[in-house]
Amino acid sequence: MSLMNWFEDKRRFGGLIGAFIEKATKGYIFSEREKDRYIKIDTTKGLWTRCDNCENMLYVRFLRQNKRICEECGYHLQMSSTERIELLIDRGTWYPMDEDMTARDVLKFSDEDSYKNRIAFYQKRTGLTDAIQTGIGQLNGIPIALGVMDFQFMGGSMGSVVGEKITRLIEYATRASMPLIIVCSSGGARMQEGTLSLMQMAKISSVLQIHQAQKRLLYIAILTYPTTGGVTASFGMLGDIIIAEPKAYIAFAGKRVIEQTLRQKIPDGFQVAESLFDHGLLDLIVPRNLLKGVLSEIFELYNAAPCKKFQNSFF
């Protein structure tokens, strides 16, 4: 095989990955035949992958060392929740919470496949029980409560388990007087759970109100590609400080839905992090390789704030 043919095969491989991510983003339903095809594709085990932005071939080993940032164009590729925990939490200080919590198919939802089978498929594929990992750890020696959503598990959709795990994490952080970070990466509420998934928005928002307003504790929301739907409409935009990664797609409804509803064209890049920052919806846009240091400085400023010494006098 010639070198040119070898690279062409790698490009085709990258195209399959791109098609898989596109289907997950758009909420496509996998048939059994498609599952057999895509379950064998794992970018973490291959040698090469392709940048979603500039389409350059990237050596996976170097990509991991570079925190999944393209060395050619600086584009931030998707990370798993485990990789994000390793990025933010000091080694040996991570203590997970509610790892055995799994979803139940209370609505007996079924389309081309049952919800129960779909959950089992993604649990096997990702090694997670649902679309978020929660726990406590230390960030540069500072104890924090951390929740990290994982887009690889059903598009990071927010079901009852995601909502309950986030709620318990916030309640624990409130009792322990710990700052809270939630890394958002989600397509929105999980359609297989119907109204039950939408109820999580109110439940999470209510415990956040206690954490922030009543106890005056810090909550930082980190928005990554993509953050959409019910996650954006609830805890994604409730942070005391809202941070986004460069070029992150952040929206409630998609561009096509907005254009069909308003019957007018919206500009390209309207829902990209830089555009939202220009319109005052975000506080910071922080590259991934600087994120831990920026968070550490924010916590140091928060701990040194004079108002914290007198917070009990407000009640």
Hey, which residues does 189 pair with through a beta bridge?
A: 158
Which residue in 174, 269, 187, 278 sits closest to 236, CA to CA?
Answer: 187
- Please tell me what DSSP assigns to residue 264: S
Q: Fill in the amino acid letter for 158.
A: M
Residues sharing a CB contact under 8 Å with residue 13, sequence separation 6 or more, in sequence order: 41, 46, 48, 50
Residue 263 token pair: 């019957």
CA distance 173 to 300: 17
CA distance 265 to 183: 31
The CATH 3.90.226.10 domain(s) of the chain lie at 79-304
Residue 224 CB coordination number (10 Å)? 25
Hey, which residues does 132 pair with through a beta bridge?
A: 149
Q: Does residue 54 have a known ligand-binding role?
A: yes
The CA radius of gyration of the chain, in Å to the nearest whole number, is 20
Domain 79-304 annotated CATH 3.40.720.10? no
CA distance 81 to 126: 10
| Positive or negative torsion for Cα 84, 287, 282, 214 | positive
Residues sharing a CB contact under 8 Å with residue 3, sequence separation 6 or more, in sequence order: none
- Global pTM? 0.82
User: What's the CA angle centered on 112, arms 109 and 115, to 5 degrees?
Assistant: 35
CA distance 70 to 56: 9
Go through the chain and tell me how many residues it has.
315
- Which pLDDT does position 307 carry in this prediction? 58
SS3 content of the chain, % helix, strand, coil (to 5): 45, 20, 35
Residues sharing a CB contact under 8 Å with residue 225, sequence separation 6 or more, in sequence order: 76, 78, 185, 245, 247, 248, 249
Q: Does residue 51 have a known ligand-binding role?
A: yes
- Which pLDDT does position 8 carry in this prediction? 52
Q: Decide: 154 and 185 in contact? Cβ < 8 Å.
A: no
Which residue in 259, 94, 252, 118 sits closest to 188, CA to CA?
Answer: 252
CA distance 290 to 17: 28
Hey, which residues does 146 pair with through a beta bridge?
A: 135, 181
Helices (H), 27-184: 32-38, 60-65, 81-88, 115-126, 160-175
Q: Does residue 307 have a known ligand-binding role?
A: no
Q: For the chain, which ranges sit under pLDDT 50?
A: 1, 3, 6-7, 10, 13-44, 309-310, 312-315
Q: Does residue 73 have a known ligand-binding role?
A: yes
pLDDT tens column, 201-247: 999 999 999 999 999 999 999 999 999 999 999 999 999 999 999 99
